[in-house]
Amino acid sequence: MDSSSYPTPTFGLPAGLPVPIDDGACAHLENTSIPPVALRSTSGSAVDVSELKGLTIIFCYPRTGAPNEIVPKEWDLIPGARGCTPQACSFRDSFKELVTLGVTQIFGLSVQNGPYHDEVKGRLHLPYDLLSDEELAFAKVLNLPTFEWEGRKLIKRVTIAVRDGKIVKVWYPVFPSDRSAAQVIDWLKGERND
């Protein structure tokens, strides 16, 4: 049985998660041109965001859990860490509305590798691709905020709107993560009314 025959999963967030504060780590991003960086996509090809035309939404997140993985209590204590799967699902569930509002492409981005992303995309029935920044190349050229977890550097949760290779809007910190797509939709509707 392939993943398309399973019901589309939904995920919630536990109550009482610590709220991340805006430490200014993304203040430099707005109006910045994206430098060329090729990232492995779940489409099987490399994607260079700097070359994409139209409006691209990239939501960067620390990591999604594996099936049946028990989330350690310590993870929940890191402000903004918990909620990668609910964030991905928020963009899945809002995909058609985002496209209707003018989004050309959507990507999720983390340091997890391509095969891991392939599994996540299938399991969660994501209609958009995931990008692997396994070597932190994208995070480094944009100086994205990171944190350490179990000996690995992970990207903090940040959502970026890129129009024709230039960052036009940044959401940071993103909390709660399952409202991430709704924040983008609110911004797009506001842009239409300006």
How does pLDDT run across 154-169, given as a tens digit for each residue?
999 999 999 999 999 9
Q: Give the chain's domain count.
A: 1
The answer to whether residue 13 is domain-embedded is: no
The answer to whether residue 52 is domain-embedded is: yes
User: Does 4 have pLDDT greater than 50?
Assistant: no
Q: Whole-angstrom Cα distance, residue 105 to residue 144?
A: 21
The answer to whether residue 103 is domain-embedded is: yes
In DSSP terms, 148 is beta-bridged to 153
Q: Whole-angstrom Cα distance, residue 78 to residue 61?
A: 13
The answer to whether residue 133 is domain-embedded is: yes
DSSP one-letter string for 31-62: TPBPPP-EEEETTSSEEEGGG--SEEEEEE-S
The answer to whether residue 30 is domain-embedded is: no
pLDDT digits (tens, 9 = 90+) for 73-120: 899 899 999 889 999 999 999 999 999 999 999 999 999 999 999 999
Average pLDDT over residues 38-66: 96
* Tokens 């536990």, located at residue: 14
Mean model confidence pLDDT for the chain:
91
The whole-number pLDDT of residue 191 equals 81
Q: Whole-angstrom Cα distance, residue 181 to residue 91?
A: 5
Which two three-digit tokens encode residue 81? 């860490």
The answer to whether residue 28 is domain-embedded is: no
pLDDT band at 71 (very low <50, low <70, confident <90, very high): confident
Residue 184 belongs to what domain range? 42-154+166-193
pLDDT digits (tens, 9 = 90+) for 136-193: 999 999 999 999 999 999 999 999 999 999 999 999 999 999 999 999 999 999 986 6
More confident: 127 or 191: 127
The answer to whether residue 18 is domain-embedded is: no
User: What CATH number does residue 182 fall under?
Assistant: 3.40.30.10
Residue 112 burial class via C-beta count within 10 angstroms: exposed 0-12, middle 13-18, buried 19 and up: buried
Q: Whole-angstrom Cα distance, residue 55 to residue 167?
A: 10
The answer to whether residue 2 is domain-embedded is: no
pLDDT digits (tens, 9 = 90+) for 16-31: 888 999 999 999 999 9
Closest-CA residue to 172 (of 193, 142, 149):
142
pLDDT band at 11 (very low <50, low <70, confident <90, very high): low
Q: Which helix (H) or strand (E) holds 89?
A: helix 84-93
Q: For 71, what's the count of Cα atoms within 13 Å in the CB-facing half-sphere?
A: 14
